[in-house]
Amino acid sequence: MSSIAVIGAAGQLGTDLVRVLGSRALPVGRPAVDMSVAGSAEAWLDEHRPSAVINCTAYNLVDQAEKEPEAAIAVNGLAPRRMALWCAAANVPLVHISTDYVFGGAETPTRPLSEDDCPAPVSAYGTSKLVGEQFVRAICPRSLVVRTCGLYGLRPTRGKGNFVETMLRLSAERDELRVVNDQRCTPTCTWGLAEVVVELLDRQAWGLYHATDEGDCTWYEFTKEIVQLAARTTRVIPIESTELKQPAKRPTYSVLSSAKMQSVLGRLLPDWRTALAAHLDRRGIE
Ligand SMILES: NC(=O)c1ccc[n+]([C@@H]2O[C@H](COP(=O)([O-])OP(=O)(O)OC[C@H]3O[C@@H](n4cnc5c(N)ncnc54)[C@H](OP(=O)(O)O)[C@@H]3O)[C@@H](O)[C@H]2O)c1
């Protein structure tokens, strides 16, 4: 595939996708393309005619989405629908990125979740992402939807950062960190995730895939590892989610199984501890 449009190229995953794709990447983002405006991406795609499209844009303000679900649906649900219509009409493959937050409802089992498990979002953000992935799968015959979890990378999300950056900053400022210990999932580094997304695309492995780093932890356990690897002395205290009084509910269990991806690629992503250590090496700790 000669030119692969990466929409949202300046985001965490977008940055690593552009790195992995090298000369095949056709990076774009705001202001050239605004996914909340109908016709904006289509006009750019008409002009550039890529051979594949990867959408890594998202409205990802999880708590804010409870107050403005229409804004989340516009970017996470309706824009992917338009991308799917454009790609289907142009006979171009579409890669779309989704989230473990499509799970979490009362019926969600507490064992690694497969692509066959029934989604049950508990937040406006999760619902908007589920709408987007379903439009893509229903409309675009050559689509690849990749659900992932807790992303962090070398280029943190603009205006929001990422969990690793936040904990590195806070652990330098405070003696004690209080972190939730009742949400179990698998934080995932965009460095390796970008590689498997491109491998799945190159193999034309259309369909729905889970792709995260291996193993699982709570955010408390993840923070303990960050603090230890950064050689900080900050105490990390486990708390319950209710203590944070966040507007949006989070899944208490959203560990994804990457077995289907492994069956296609013959490999898994690294364990979350290994991926985190490699990330901190690349990033450097002052
Ligand atoms: N972050 C996570 O923890 C996480 C977890 C699971 C799944 N995911 C999914 O993974 C994907 C990539 O996430 P990420 O962490 O790389 O996101 P990110 O760092 O927030 O990057 C998102 C990109 O989308 C762009 N964007 C946002 N709204 C846009 C709009 N209306 N029009 C055009 N561009 C827009 C942003 O541009 P600006 O720089 O201009 O804002 C940014 O470049 C998303 O689909 C997300 O839902 C993320």
Q: What is the CATH number of the domain that holds 66?
A: 3.40.50.720
Q: Is 165 helix (H, G, I), strand (E, B) or coil?
A: helix
What distance in Å separates the CA atoms of residue 95 and residue 84, rounded to the nearest whole number? 9
pTM over cut 0.95? yes
Digit-coded pLDDT (tens) for 165-184? 999 999 999 999 999 999 99
- Told to judge if 59 belongs to the known catalytic residues of this protein, a careful annotator would answer no
Confidence category of residue 106, pLDDT binned at 50, 70, 90:
confident
In a domain, 74, yes or no: yes
Extract the tokens encoding 117.
Answer: 């498990």
pLDDT of residue 82: 98
Of all protein residues, the one whose alpha carbon is nearest to atom 26 of ligand 1 is 57
Of all protein residues, the one whose alpha carbon is nearest to atom 46 of ligand 1 is 58
Confidence category of residue 207, pLDDT binned at 50, 70, 90:
very high
pLDDT of residue 274: 98
Q: Give percent of the chain with pLDDT exceeding 90.
A: 96
Average pLDDT over residues 149-165: 94
In a domain, 194, yes or no: yes
In a domain, 21, yes or no: yes
Helix and strand numbers (H, E) in the chain are: 11, 12
Paired strand residues for 207: 144
What distance in Å separates the CA atoms of residue 156 and residue 52, rounded to the nearest whole number? 25
Angstrom distances, CA of residue 191 to CA of 118, 153, 161, 186: 29, 7, 16, 15
What distance in Å separates the CA atoms of residue 76 and residue 55, rounded to the nearest whole number? 10
Residue 218 above 70 pLDDT?
Answer: yes
Nearest CA among 79, 1, 2 for reference residue 44: 79
Residue 111 structural domain:
4-160+187-214+255-270
Instruction: Tell me how far the alpha carbon of residue 234 lies from the centroid of ligand 1, in angstroms.
Output: 30
In a domain, 249, yes or no: no
Of all protein residues, the one whose alpha carbon is nearest to atom 48 of ligand 1 is 151
Quote the number of domains for the chain: 1
In a domain, 282, yes or no: no
pLDDT of residue 150: 98
pLDDT of residue 134: 98
Average pLDDT over residues 117-140: 98
Residue 28 above 70 pLDDT?
Answer: yes
* Residue 75 CB contacts under 8 Å (≥ 6 apart), including other chains: 35, 36, 57, 58, 59, 128
In a domain, 51, yes or no: yes
* Residue 23 CB contacts under 8 Å (≥ 6 apart), including other chains: none
pLDDT of residue 279: 98
Cβ 133 vs Cβ 102: under 8 Å: yes
Extract the tokens encoding 183.
Answer: 């949400």
Residue 223 above 70 pLDDT?
Answer: yes
Cβ 168 vs Cβ 192: under 8 Å: no
In a domain, 127, yes or no: yes
Please list every protein residue whose CB sits less than 6 Å from any atom of ligand 1.
Answer: 8, 10-14, 29-30, 33-36, 56-60, 75, 97, 99, 129, 148-151, 157-158
Residue 14 Cα: closest atom of ligand 1: 16
In a domain, 223, yes or no: no
Residue 159 above 90 pLDDT?
Answer: no
Residue 1 above 70 pLDDT?
Answer: no
**Mean of all residue pLDDT scores within the chain:** 97
Confidence category of residue 67, pLDDT binned at 50, 70, 90:
very high
